[in-house]
Amino acid sequence: MVDISALTNSAGYLLEGVLVTLLLVALSLFIGFVCGIVLTLGQVYGPKVIKKLVGIYVWFFRGLPNIVLLFLFYFALFPFMGLDLPAFFVAVTVLGMRSAAYQSQIFRGAIESIASGQMLAARSLGMTKWQAIRSIILPQTLRLSLPGWSNEYPVLLTDSSVAYVIGVAELLTRTAQVISRTGEPMLLYLSCALMFILLNYGGMMLIQLIEKKTHIPGLGPEGGEA
């Protein structure tokens, strides 16, 4: 018989885990977004040496499994640098840096699909390169990136549970702790799975809403990229 009280007694504790997971994903996405844009601009508009460095960065972070990166930074690199950082902080940093590598390639694809003539036109009006990037290239890049970007959220959400291995008290970690206390794996893993599905669904709805709100005729997948 499934003992439902195993779930109800720990509901608060588990819901806190949901919040930790959400915070972990949101912060990683944000770091990945900001760093991803910087990486993209470096790769597309920067001097040769910057392009090369960005290439190495992307290659490194996309080439290693999440769990290896987490161990590497948490148990080796940060301690070697004399930094004693909380597990949550390390997880956000590593997932964020890894996401930056992926996001930078989404943004790069979008920038490259924007006709280069628009940059020329902006410069011909007396705009500086930076003004053109800010008011013309970036707004279009972000809109064009949304479809690719909507893939990054579920990936990061599911990847976030790997933070378990360094003891971040996120949803999976807490679920495992409750199971070891109550011996109810079926109920608790199912509810854990359900929470992930709901988080996934909610996030996707939000992204779709943003896509709809920011849609511009002729820009993006529906209108074709003119």
Partner 1 sequence: MTEPILRVENLTKTYGDLEVLKGVSFDVYPGEKKVFIGPSGTGKSTLLRCINLLTEPDGGSVYLNGEEVTNSGRKINDYRQKMGMVFQNFNLFDHLTAVRNVELALLKVKKMGKKEAREKALFELERVGMLDWADHYPAQLSGGQAQRVSIARALAMDPEVMLFDEPTSALDPELKREVMEVMRKLAAQGMTCLVVTHEMKFATSFASEILLMEKGEIIERGKPEDIPTSPSFERMRAFMGAYTEE
What minimum distance in Å lies between the beta carbon of 123 and partner 1? 6
Using rule CB under 8 A, residue 151 touches partner 1: no
- Note whether 223 binds partner 1 by CB under 8 A: yes
Q: How far apart are CA 151 and CA 159, in angstroms?
A: 12
Interaction of residue 114 with partner 1, rule CB under 8 A: yes
Q: Which stretch binds partner 1 (CB under 8 A): 43-51, 62-70, 125-133, 205-213?
A: 125-133
Size of the site for partner 1 (CB under 8 A): 25
Candidates 40, 43, 140, 161; binder of partner 1 (CB under 8 A) is 140
Which candidate, 11, 29, 28, 31, places its Cα nearest to that of 171? 11
CA distance 115 to 170: 43
Quote the CA–CA distance of 35 and 102 in Å, as a whole number: 11
Rounded least distance, CB 148 to partner 1, Å: 17
| Helix ranges (DSSP H) in the chain | 5-8, 11-45, 48-63, 66-71, 78-80, 87-113, 117-124, 129-132, 138-159, 171-182, 185-213
* Cα-Cα-Cα-Cα dihedral sign, residues 74, 77, 80, 81: negative
Among 4, 5, 81, 135, binds partner 1 (CB under 8 A): 135
Applying CB under 8 A, which of residues 12, 82, 125, 212 lies at the interface with partner 1?
125
Site membership for partner 1, residue 120 (CB under 8 A): yes
**Residue listed under structure tokens 């460095």:** 53
Interface residues with partner 1 (CB under 8 A)? Answer: 114-115, 117-118, 120-128, 131, 135-136, 139-140, 143, 216-219, 223, 226
